[in-house]
Structure 1
Amino acid sequence: MKRRFVLAALPAMLFTLTAAGKPRKPAPRPAPPPAPLGDVVRIEIVTELGTITADLFHKQAPITVRNVVRYIDSRRYDGTTFYRAMKLDWGEQPNGLIQMGIRDAAKLFPPIAHEPTSQTGIKHKAGTLSLARNAPGTGRADFSILMSDLESYDADPASDNPELRAGYAAFGQVVSGMDVARKIFEAPRSATEGVGLMKGQMLGPPIKVLRIRRLPAQPLPPVG
């Protein structure tokens, strides 16, 4: 049966070669679907000064993490920059944050819903990743890495001030590479770049982000 099938198929194949003049190219294989997101998504931020590894807390901040991973998987962070270092002169040093993101508006996805810390339980500690925004619900691609604890960025539901009540959306934590974050924090700043509160906080030149990628899921530690 197999021999008859093979011989019967040959004339059809020869007809295809003759009619088209050349063999047909196989259809391109579709790209594999992105890996599903677990409770924690580990990422690698490769900059020109070194690599920062962070965990994104998908279970606690699903909207924010899915948004950031969408930018990562579409390679839209590749070639961007850390462009800001906010330095606070009070408290234990280093005190402040570094901020990176996409400066090309054509590469931005729509804004996402705000996930306050009162909802997620993720506090703004040293090494925390937090989504940048103007008003709540305007966050897109830009995010900060905190160099110190900044409790004022946590949501305060009892506040009469809408900004303090909303706080910022923390969504991850650096697990290695804070030394690289410190190098970015200490990079030269421009005396003229920036508008309003950001004037004097803009890095000059910005620090290049070569790429950001998801890393394989980490095995759970042994019990006991």
Structure 2
Amino acid sequence: MIGRLFAALLLLLITPASAALPAPGLVKVVLKTELGPIVVAVDTKHAPITAGNFLRYVDAHKFDGKTFYRAARSKTRPGVGLVQGGIDSKISDSFFPIKHEPTSLTGIHHGDGVISMARHDVGSAMGDFFICLGPSETLDASPGYPGYAAFGHVVSGIEIVRRILVMPTYPGGLSAETMGQTLVHRVRILSATRMR
């Protein structure tokens, strides 16, 4: 009995820190794309509504077979912009819209590698998301502006997101805001799953 207890204590002492449990509230999701995997850490502690919504789509396999379809590049700052993916507003693949969680409430601000929910009006976010590249503070909430709902960050695979950002886009668009941002060749999301 004492020998087994000693062995258990010894195992705890020699277990590397990297094998420790993940930070509370962070759930890792791997987006397996045709260009390689992108791993994101979803913050269920600070953005429970938005993170929970994203995980609901993951668990229901709603992102499987979908694409990254938009690359919005800064006109003045090379390498800065966002890459958008998800259900592409397809209602048949969507759950009900969620309540907006602004950055002023969550404390998760838009910066390099941050993942956030795409939306039209406030409270309309469903199954489309984007990943920021470079400083993106204009997407944060500010007085009189609700901003967007950030809910996590890229852990690995940011180089794939950067590759998507510079891929060719069509010159036109459905609106002035998205003019020239639709990818000519969409990048397929083969699967989206929680990491165990």
Which 5+ residue runs of structure 2 have no aligned equivalent?
1-23
SS of structure 1 residue aligned to 2:116: strand
CA distance in 1, matches of 2:116, 2:72: 14
Structure 1 position 48 matched with structure 2 position 31? no
CA distance in 1, matches of 2:56, 2:149: 17
Structure 1 position 117 matched with structure 2 position 76? no
Regions of 4+ moved over 2 Å: 192-196
CA distance in 2, matches of 1:56, 1:178: 15
Which 5+ residue runs of structure 1 have no aligned equivalent?
1-37, 217-224
Structure 1 position 143 matched with structure 2 position 123? no
Shift of 1:138: 0.6
Shift of 1:186: 1.3
Q: Deviations over 1:9-60 (max 9, x none)?
A: xxxxxxxxxxxxxxxxxxxxxxxxxxxxx61110001111111111000000
Q: Deviations over 1:97-131 (max 9, x none)?
A: 00001033101000000000111000101000010
Shift of 1:133: 0.8
Question: TM-score, normalization: structure 1?
Answer: 0.74
Map of 2:190 onto structure 1? 210
Shift of 1:193: 4.2
**Contact 1:194/1:201 (<8 A) preserved:** no
SS of structure 1 residue aligned to 2:57: helix
SS of structure 2 residue aligned to 1:152: helix
Shift of 1:200: 0.7
Identity %, equivalent residues = 40
Question: TM-score, normalization: structure 2?
Answer: 0.84
Structure with the greater alpha carbon radius of gyration: 1
Amino acid of the structure 2 residue aligned with 1:50: G
Map of 2:92 onto structure 1? 106
Amino acid of the structure 2 residue aligned with 1:214: R
Map of 1:189 onto structure 2? 169
Structure 1 position 83 matched with structure 2 position 69? yes
Provide the aligned length of Structure 1 versus Structure 2.
172
**Contact 1:190/1:203 (<8 A) preserved:** yes
Structure 1 position 128 matched with structure 2 position 114? yes
Q: CA RMSD in A?
A: 1.1
